């Protein structure tokens, strides 16, 4: 093996490491061009279980957390009923009886 072959192998290795590292970093930062939704906004679209119903007040449990909700219009809610989170209003969740269409569920800053 002469010096030229060794230099070509070393330069190829350095370039491969650089391109592989750059590509991995780019993929990890933008895996599918969807930014993660965190915090309260991540609850929109999830299913919740009604745990308490009083006149003018209701609570649901979602992800082991208890939230006050704004009940949907129509028939009153019952304990044990499944509802779907449709939005936020201050520190209360708006719910609906039917799941949201996929297009209405936020998935990232640019969705």
Mean predicted lDDT score pLDDT of the chain: 82
CATH number at residue 76: 2.40.50.140
45 and 28 share a domain?
no
In a domain, 73, yes or no: yes
2 and 23 share a domain?
yes
In a domain, 110, yes or no: no
Provide the number of structural domains found in the chain.
Answer: 2
> What's the mean pLDDT in 66-75?
87
> What's the mean pLDDT in 76-100?
89
End-to-end alpha carbon distance in the chain:
56
91 and 50 share a domain?
yes
21 and 68 share a domain?
no
How far, in Å, CA of 43 to CA of 20, rounded? 36
Owning domain of residue 7: 1-35
What pLDDT score does 50 carry? 94
pTM for this prediction: 0.61
User: Which run of H or E residues covers position 6?
Assistant: helix 3-29
User: Tens digit of pLDDT for each residue in 7-29?
Assistant: 999 999 998 888 877 777 776 76
């Amino acid at each position: 093996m002469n010096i030229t072959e060794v230099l070509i192998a070393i330069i190829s290795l350095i370039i491969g490491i650089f391109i592989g590292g750059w590509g991995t970093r780019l993929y990890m930062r933008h895996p599918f061009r969807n930014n993660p939704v965190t915090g309260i906004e991540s609850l929109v679209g999830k299913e919740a279980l009604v745990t308490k119903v009083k006149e003018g007040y209701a609570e649901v449990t979602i992800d082991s957390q208890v939230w006050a909700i704004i009940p949907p219009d129509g028939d009153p809610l019952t304990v044990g009923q499944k509802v779907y989170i449709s939005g936020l209003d201050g520190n209360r969740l708006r719910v609906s009886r039917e799941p949201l269409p996929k297009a209405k569920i936020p998935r990232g800053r640019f969705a």
